[in-house]
Chains A and B, each alone.
Chain A
Amino acid sequence: MSEFKVHHREGEGVNVIELKGYLDAHTATDLETAFQRLLNDRKYNIVVNCRDLTYISSAGLGVFMAYIEDVRKNRGDIKLTNMSTKVYNVFDLLGFPILYEIYKEEQEAVRKFNEHAGPSR
């Protein structure tokens, strides 16, 4: 059976979710739970590190879509990093790169959040 793991780390005002394995209809609820927990805790600066994500299906993308508006309404964002070409192609095919900020490295996304937050604090 396809394996999927969500790991959550918290650092410098940014929450990093690491995805590992297959994100599809079967495992989508795991990611949903992780997002739901962050939102419940009012944590809206989210970086999703896809380094170990081997596969994503449309249903998996749907989870990102389900939460992005709520997150942005609260002045946060979901930024994606470290995508493999295969995973990026799915994002690209379904037209998601115009909706999400995608970075090569996690640090870039974290920096982006901190730059943004810096002056306003």
Chain B
Amino acid sequence: MAKMLVGKGLILSREHGGTFRVLLVRGMSESAQSAHIEIPRPPSSFMDLRRKVSAMPWRETLTGWGIELMVPITSRNRLVGYLGLGRRLNGSRFVRDDRNLIQSLVDLSGSAIEKALIIDQVNDANRNLDRKVQELNTLFELSKEFNAGLDLQKILRLITFALLGQVGVRTYAVCLRNGPAMEIAASRLAEGEELGGILPDLAELKGPMLTSDMLRMKSYRSAAAELMRLGLHAAVPMHIQNQTRGLLLVGERLRGGRYAQADLEFLYALGNLAGISIENARLFMEALEKQKMEDELLIARDIQQGLLPEVLPEVPGFDIAAMNIPSKQVGGDYYDVLPRKDDQYVFAIGDVSGKGTPAALLMANVQAALRALAPFDQPLAAITGRINDLTSANTRGGSKFITFFWGTLDTKERLLTYVNAGHNPPMLVRSDGTVERLEEGGLILGIFKTAKPYDEGSARMERGDVLFLFTDGVSEAMNAAGEDYTEEQLLEVVRASRGMTSAGIIEAVMKSVNRHVHDTPQSDDITMLVAKAV
């Protein structure tokens, strides 16, 4: 260069076909270093770039850098590169002698340059191999770690680290399918950017694809345009059993360069590996959730069972029996028999709307209120009002309610005094077979604070009279055709079996109910409480 008084120069080495790489630059911006240049039909003789021939991008690139003369470098008659020279400092042109001198210098160096290039290529191949090994190590390491915890957030962090560390991305998004929708689970995008709208289109991707390639396909064009706008250069689906369970979207890389096929393959492997672990984590969480719900049901059942009397008290002059069969899902049935004062006994039955722990807790509330208030020497109607006030304060505005019936039985007087707060009216079956329904009372508990006092009803019980309390789990027991057992049938059975003991009556009802439902699973609690005057 000095001899020729040239200030700028570069060497292009041929990589393959028409692809050349800038190997060396002198006197010009470093940014040209390593740049790739496509020269479709590489000329094999001197070329003066200042001569205007047809416009070609590579010529413009080189002249843009100040290169004016291109000298082919050959080794064993093969073109291995070019020497590019800029303007001479004294402004003179390259004359024939100059060209001959340059040519002989280049010829001398040709085989040395080729050797150097081969060494370069071997080094490159080694490096590529090392990088491949590194990629495999990364996949291996992640697969171990992914499955260690089955923790979705941790898996996402690890994917992020691999994208950042192995691939060197700056912008990315990890999207996961959630039901029919595809959602961003982790991302680094330009501030305030979102890409929700295009994700469904990308769910159809069969394999990793560059945004620039998608742009040429009709079905992806709009999605690709959006990816382009967000600086995302490739989309990689996460497949599990041919279904897209997520997407890796990757943008600009910190060390520059396009995504090569090998990069996409790595990302695809990473995505599929992560997809399986994410799926496992999801299944694990579901199983955990289900276990939690089952545990909760057990707690609810414990609470509910704890509310029911273990042993019924002896009530002089009366034969008492009860039955409670909780349904699988745990409803909120409740019954109670407890001494009040002197010769009085409390009988109660209730049914809370809803199921599970909330229903069981509300029932516990009612029971506590009843047991606390029943001993006070106040009219039943007043006590019922207080119970309602307490429970409606606890239900906070009526999302839950309780149907409730309770009464006191004076065993001396054989007098039943009762309040029915919206419960299925109990049956009082007289020994002669006539039936009274006990309906006096008022609104169900838990909806409003008591505005209108409850009414009280009363009935005297003679020998052989049967008081039958039940919940709708009995009257609405359903068969396979979805038909209720009905109160009419229930009443007939109770009337027909009124001569039996209380336990016998319950047994007769259960038999009849079972005949009706056959083997249809029980969907609601079944509760009965019977008191027969003897």
Binding site for B on A (CB under 8 A): 24-26, 28-29, 32, 57-66, 69, 89-90, 93-96, 98-99
Contacts and interface: CB of A to CB of B under 8 A. Distances in A.
B127 A57 contact: no
A98 B255 contact: yes
Contacts of A64: 165
Contacts of A61: 161, 164-166
B65 to A, nearest CB: 22
B165 A60 contact: yes
A87 to B, nearest CB: 13
24 contacts: A25-B144, A25-B145, A26-B145, A28-B158, A29-B154, A32-B157, A57-B138, A58-B135, A58-B166, A59-B141, A60-B161, A62-B160, A62-B163, A62-B166, A65-B168, A65-B254, A66-B161, A69-B170, A89-B130, A90-B134, A93-B130, A94-B166, A95-B254, A96-B255
Contacts of B157: 28-29, 32
Contacts of A25: 141-142, 144-145, 158, 161-162
Q: Classify the secondary structure of A's interface with B.
A: helix
Interface in B155-191: 157-158, 160-166, 168, 170
Shortest 4 CB-CB contacts between residues of A and residues of B: A62-B161, A62-B165, A95-B255, A61-B165
A65 B168 CA distance: 8
B520 interface: no
Given A26-B144, A65-B254, 16 more contacts: A26-B145, A28-B157, A57-B137, A58-B137, A58-B138, A58-B162, A61-B161, A61-B166, A62-B160, A63-B161, A63-B164, A69-B170, A93-B127, A93-B134, A96-B255, A99-B254
A32 B157 CA distance: 10
B123 to A, nearest CB: 12
Interface residues of B, number: 26
A65 B163 CA distance: 10
Contacts of B254: 65, 95, 99
Interface string B319-351: 000000000000000000000000000000000
A17 to B, nearest CB: 17
B170 A66 contact: no
A62 B162 contact: yes
Contact of A62 (B137, B148, B154, B164): B164
B160 A99 contact: no
A104 to B, nearest CB: 23
Nearest to A24: B141
Contacts of B131: 93-94
Contacts of A69: 170
Contacts of B168: 65, 94-96
A61 B127 CA distance: 18
Contacts of A62: 160-166
A65 B188 CA distance: 12
A90 B165 CA distance: 10
Nearest to A61: B165
Contacts of B130: 89, 93
Contacts of A60: 161, 165
A24 to B, nearest CB: 6
A66 B255 contact: no
B164 A66 contact: yes
Nearest to B255: A95
A95 B157 CA distance: 22
A58 B165 contact: yes
Contact of B162 (A26, A59, A96): A59
A59 B255 contact: no
A96 to B, nearest CB: 8
A58 B131 CA distance: 11
Interface string B96-124: 00000000000000000000000000000
Contact of A57 (B141, B160, B163, B170): B141
A25 B143 CA distance: 10
A64 B166 CA distance: 12
A109 to B, nearest CB: 20
Nearest to A95: B255
